[in-house]
Amino acid sequence: MTDRKDIDLATLRARLEERRAEILAHSSHSEDYRKPVELDQQAVGRLSRMDALQNQEMHLEQERRRAAELDRIEKTFKRMEEDEYGYCHNCGEPIDKKRLEFDPTTPLCIDCADRATHA
């Protein structure tokens, strides 16, 4: 595939690197909240322990979402390095510039994304 001249790769790459740094910072900050909740009935009442378990689950889900976004970012960097960025992963057609500016990690053109959500 040829390089997309209509896309400002440097700006998109900088945005992705900044987002990756934010995700990693949030991930390390919330590490303590994802640790297992200890069963200590003396220190924590039953309702407080249930709240702690619920908070833990919420933080685990947030971490799963962060990991998925990091994966999308890393795959985008790989597509950029291999000169495949900006082209639909399914059909090979160029992805609209505005779509890439909105979500630089999108691997699908609007038509393929629409088909995937309605399949």
pLDDT at position 42 is 54
Angle 81-87-89 from CA coordinates, rounded to 5°: 95
CA 48, CA 30: separation in Å to the nearest integer?
Answer: 19
| Average confidence score pLDDT of the chain | 86
What predicted TM-score, i.e. pTM, was given to this entire model? Answer: 0.77
In terms of residues, how long is the chain? Answer: 119
94-107 tens-digit pLDDT: 999 999 999 999 99
- Tell me, what amino acid is at 10? A
pLDDT reading at 36 higher than 80: no
Q: Let me know: does 86 contact 100? Beta carbons within 8 Å.
A: yes
Match 């908070």 to its residue by tokens.
Answer: 55
Q: Which pair of tokens denotes residue 18? A: 């900044």
pLDDT at position 101 is 95
